[in-house]
A and B are shown apart, each in its own frame.
Chain A
Amino acid sequence: MARIGVFVCHCGTNIAGVVDVKRVAEYALTLPGVKYAIDYKYMCSDPGQNAIIEAVKEHKLDRIVVTACSPRMHEGTFRKAAERSGINQYMSEMANVREHDSWVHSDDKEAATLKAMKLMEMSVAKVRRSEALSKMYATVEKRALVIGGGIAGIQAALDIAEAGHKVVIVEKDPSIGGRMAQLDKTFPTLDCSACILTPKMVAASQHPNIELRVYSEVVEVNGYVGNFDIKIKKKASSVDNKKCISCGVCTLKCPSKRAQSEFDEKIAPRKAIYTPFPQAVPNKPVIDREACTFFLTGKCRICEKVCPTQAIDFNQQDEVVTEKFGAVVLATGFDIFDSNVYGEYGYGEYKDVVTSLQFERLINSSGPTEGHVVRLSDKKEPKNLVWIQCVGSRDESKGRPYCSRVCCMYTAKQAMLMKEHYPEVNCYVFYIDIRAAGKNYEEFVQKAQNEYGVIYLRGRVSKIYEKKDKLIVRGADTLSGSQVEIVADMVVLANGLEPRKDAKSLAQLFHVSYDQYGFFTELHPKLGPVETAIAGVFVAGACQACKDIPDTVAQAGAAASKVLGLFSKEKMEVEPLIAKVDPLVCSGCETCYNVCPYSAIEMEDREVSRGNLKHVAKVLDSVCKGCGACVGACYSKAVDLKGFSERQVYDQIETVTQ
């Protein structure tokens, strides 16, 4: 007969404020097998855990149920407590009466208490059927994959490499650098973005432990923490990097004028054979086959003729390699919100309405205009500029209720830079609120207004229309309560941030969850900000949520430290909650063999009784992930799943419906 202990947590008032915890504990004592039950203020605290340990010893309990928060929160805590008390850690269960009860039924305390009693009873029913399981270990491949070569990816890779482990950076563009390479200056210090980024790019490329795979993408992911098998596709660049000496003659002589530079946000043309920007790392050109005259018409081959080292290879094919990694950092960054969604601002219709990133390229001295800010329509210098904030931020009607966190700051920065370059211009900013929470951020915005004379107007812009060669910006100034109209030469939209377009498909490859916008979901909003629900997969930078450069760098370092923690162990503990086959019941139909997503089932001819061979399924313990697809599919009920066994689930069903 089982000897079960039930421990009911108050969680301060989180549970006890709604659920009558005393009644739950009293009810527990009426259940068969329950020998001990108490309620306590904080079960997860040291005294709480010690109370469990002492109770187990004193009352000779052999299994425990902790009625508290979600097992996703504290299952590990109480399994460890169980182990310390001398019983097997898998002889513990939790009943989730906080997330699934007190927090969601605070309107009906009686119903919440009855439900808590029921949830506890279900867990008691389940733990009665629990088995002692022994720990399992797996090896760790001490090699990390960083996806995304922006500042987040570079920083994470450098930190891991510095600690002595091999890192591969996969970047889909021809160069690492990411968004930060596109920026002119950074707030709040106004130091040049490229000047602080390029040394890091070079450091990454020269580090003996870092391997760059640019123009590459992850296409398939198998395996699990410590042992990922990842397929990486290197797109054909049509240039043999071993021969290329980065002289740049090919780009200079290329006659193609079809393509627009992605790096310059499509405000300048680029050649068909190109490096995205002069400081690109690695500084090797690629051929854009959709723009190349040779690939389109079969004639040209000028780059091939001018190349001094015969590095051009038109026959190059995409290459796919499969490699083993122990951990992955996702650092795919952001896109800016699509300005076309705001029809009233006339983006795309009026050439002089530009996005914030286009403005960065315009004012950047290595940009297409060499830092001369000119109107895209007539190349004249603008005299009056208007910034519109929250384009795709804090706007429920456009499906973007969140604040992008950086726009207030970069708007102030851009207006200040404009004033620095051209002191006589007028800069106006339409804003909703100024959100400048960061070290020296508020001071920075104040400086823009007080020292640089940037004029801030609190209100939304309702319409922009063209009048001769001017843009009329009509909006509200809610502080003076009046309509304002500004005759502008140029309008800059302060676009909000959103995840990269292909972030969702990448998340699906790794089975990492994402929110409705496509931002990767971290393990816990407060206590697991760089982990994901998938062990061994971490996140860094704006792919997880909007953030600025310092926060991105900090998160990248945190992700790297998690990777290093994983790599510090020779062997890693893995959950023994896996499937097992009863060979006596198995009919050898191979259904489980066919449904298993991990190829963890093997068919074998096994001696089930003396001299009697039987064709049966066998689970490969180290490969099984415990999803239970085989259990759901088995016709003869020969497979069962430890920790979620048939008897456990059926007993829970019976308890609910009693």
Chain B
Amino acid sequence: MEVKEKKLNIVGFLCNWCSYAGADLTGLGRNIYPADIKIIRIPCTGRMDPMMVIEAFHKGADGVLVSGCHPGDCHYSEGNYYWRRRYAHLKELLDFFGIDKRRFHASWVSASEGKKFAEVVKKVVTETQDWKDSNSK
């Protein structure tokens, strides 16, 4: 019954306290962004196991976004710092795996940055689409 559209499939991992709330605010402000992203709620970016990102790509995700609280603002004090370090390594590792850097994004979006979240998604979608287009040529 479902008609599969040829759209991007992007997985978003959002921390509960800042970015997930920020994305809620995006909705509250009716800021439109592309529907290609689906969000998985996690308590904190510190909970992110790099394997989750690798798993998403492994299963066929076109892009991945991980978004958390701004440095210094983590609800759990330091979770986003752990994630920041893991991100730095993971980015290089994914590059080594041959996964284009345009497909993997991280951002800091606070609970009051609804508009910013829409901008972040637009950027992730544009870059991932960019990669897809250049790949299909």
Binding site for B on A (CB under 8 A): 23, 26-27, 30, 70-73, 96, 98-101, 103-108, 110-112, 114-115, 117-119, 122, 507-508, 511, 513-516, 521, 525, 533-534, 577, 595, 597-598, 625-629, 631-633, 641, 643-644, 646, 649-650, 652-654, 656-658
Q: Are A657 and B56 in contact (CB under 8 A)?
A: yes
B85 to chain A, nearest CB (A): 10
Q: Are A641 and B5 in contact (CB under 8 A)?
A: no
When distances are taken between beta carbons in the complex, the residues of chain B under 8 Å from A598 are 76
Q: Which of B20, B32, B46, B72 has most A Cβ within 10 Å? A: B46
Q: Are A657 and B20 in contact (CB under 8 A)?
A: no
A499–B79 Cα distance when bound, in Å, is 27
Q: Are A641 and B47 in contact (CB under 8 A)?
A: yes
- Known pairs A71-B41, A111-B7, A628-B42; A511 contacts B59 (CB<8 A): no
Q: Is B17 in contact with chain A by the CB < 8 A criterion?
A: yes
Extra inter-chain contacts (8) besides given A99-B27, A521-B111, A631-B49, CB under 8 Å? A30-B1, A101-B35, A104-B27, A106-B32, A119-B38, A511-B17, A627-B47, A641-B47
Q: Tell me the B28-73 residues at the A interface (CB within 8 Å).
A: 28, 30-35, 38-44, 46-49, 52, 55-56, 59-61, 69, 72-73
Residue of B at shortest CB range from A121? B38
A633–B75 Cα distance when bound, in Å, is 18
Residue of A at shortest CB range from B31? A104
Q: Is B11 in contact with chain A by the CB < 8 A criterion?
A: yes
When distances are taken between beta carbons in the complex, the residues of chain B under 8 Å from A111 are 5, 7, 35
Binding site for A on B (CB under 8 A): 1-2, 5, 7, 9, 11, 16-18, 20-21, 23-28, 30-35, 38-44, 46-49, 52, 55-56, 59-61, 69, 72-79, 82-83, 86, 110-113, 118
Q: Are B79 and A644 in contact (CB under 8 A)?
A: no
A91–B40 Cα distance when bound, in Å, is 18
Tell me the dominant secondary structure on chain B's binding face: loop
Query: Can you sample 16 A-B contacts with CB below 8 Å?
Result: A73-B24, A100-B24, A104-B33, A104-B118, A105-B33, A111-B7, A119-B39, A521-B111, A533-B111, A597-B78, A627-B44, A627-B75, A629-B46, A629-B78, A632-B86, A657-B60
Shortest 9 CB-CB contacts between residues of A and residues of B: A628-B47, A99-B27, A627-B76, A103-B27, A657-B59, A629-B46, A515-B112, A111-B35, A99-B24
Q: Are A654 and B59 in contact (CB under 8 A)?
A: yes
When distances are taken between beta carbons in the complex, the residues of chain A under 8 Å from B2 are 27, 114, 117
A595–B49 Cα distance when bound, in Å, is 14
Q: Are B52 and A653 in contact (CB under 8 A)?
A: yes
A107–B34 Cα distance when bound, in Å, is 9
B80 to chain A, nearest CB (A): 10
Residue of B at shortest CB range from A519? B112
When distances are taken between beta carbons in the complex, the residues of chain B under 8 Å from A119 are 38-39
Neighbour of A508 across the interface among B9, B44, B73, CB < 8 A: B73
Q: Are A533 and B30 in contact (CB under 8 A)?
A: no
A106–B78 Cα distance when bound, in Å, is 37
Residue of A at shortest CB range from B13? A649
Q: Are B30 and A513 in contact (CB under 8 A)?
A: no
A650–B21 Cα distance when bound, in Å, is 22
Q: Are A628 and B43 in contact (CB under 8 A)?
A: yes
Q: Are B32 and A632 in contact (CB under 8 A)?
A: no
Q: Are A513 and B18 in contact (CB under 8 A)?
A: yes
A513–B77 Cα distance when bound, in Å, is 12
A658–B60 Cα distance when bound, in Å, is 8
A104–B117 Cα distance when bound, in Å, is 11
When distances are taken between beta carbons in the complex, the residues of chain A under 8 Å from B25 are 99
A406 to chain B, nearest CB (A): 22
Neighbour of A644 across the interface among B42, B82, B112, B118, CB < 8 A: B42
When distances are taken between beta carbons in the complex, the residues of chain A under 8 Å from B46 are 595, 627-629, 632
When distances are taken between beta carbons in the complex, the residues of chain A under 8 Å from B118 are 104
A101–B37 Cα distance when bound, in Å, is 10
Q: Are A649 and B11 in contact (CB under 8 A)?
A: no
Q: Are A516 and B112 in contact (CB under 8 A)?
A: yes
When distances are taken between beta carbons in the complex, the residues of chain A under 8 Å from B9 are 656-657
Q: Are B73 and A511 in contact (CB under 8 A)?
A: yes
A516–B59 Cα distance when bound, in Å, is 37
When distances are taken between beta carbons in the complex, the residues of chain A under 8 Å from B110 are 513-515
When distances are taken between beta carbons in the complex, the residues of chain B under 8 Å from A632 are 46-49, 82-83, 86
Q: Are B23 and A100 in contact (CB under 8 A)?
A: yes
When distances are taken between beta carbons in the complex, the residues of chain B under 8 Å from A653 are 11, 40, 52, 55-56, 59, 61
Neighbour of B61 across the interface among A70, A629, A657, CB < 8 A: A657
A240–B82 Cα distance when bound, in Å, is 46
Q: Which of A96, A513, A654, A658 has most B Cβ within 10 Å? A: A513
Neighbour of A629 across the interface among B11, B30, B69, B82, CB < 8 A: B82
Residue of A at shortest CB range from B83? A632
Q: Are B112 and A514 in contact (CB under 8 A)?
A: yes
A654–B57 Cα distance when bound, in Å, is 10
Residue of B at shortest CB range from A14? B27
When distances are taken between beta carbons in the complex, the residues of chain A under 8 Å from B40 are 122, 649, 652-653, 656
Residue of B at shortest CB range from A534? B75
Q: Which of A27, A114, A598 has most B Cβ within 10 Å? A: A114
When distances are taken between beta carbons in the complex, the residues of chain B under 8 Å from A650 are 52, 55
Q: Are A511 and B111 in contact (CB under 8 A)?
A: no
Q: Are A656 and B83 in contact (CB under 8 A)?
A: no
Q: Are B38 and A122 in contact (CB under 8 A)?
A: yes
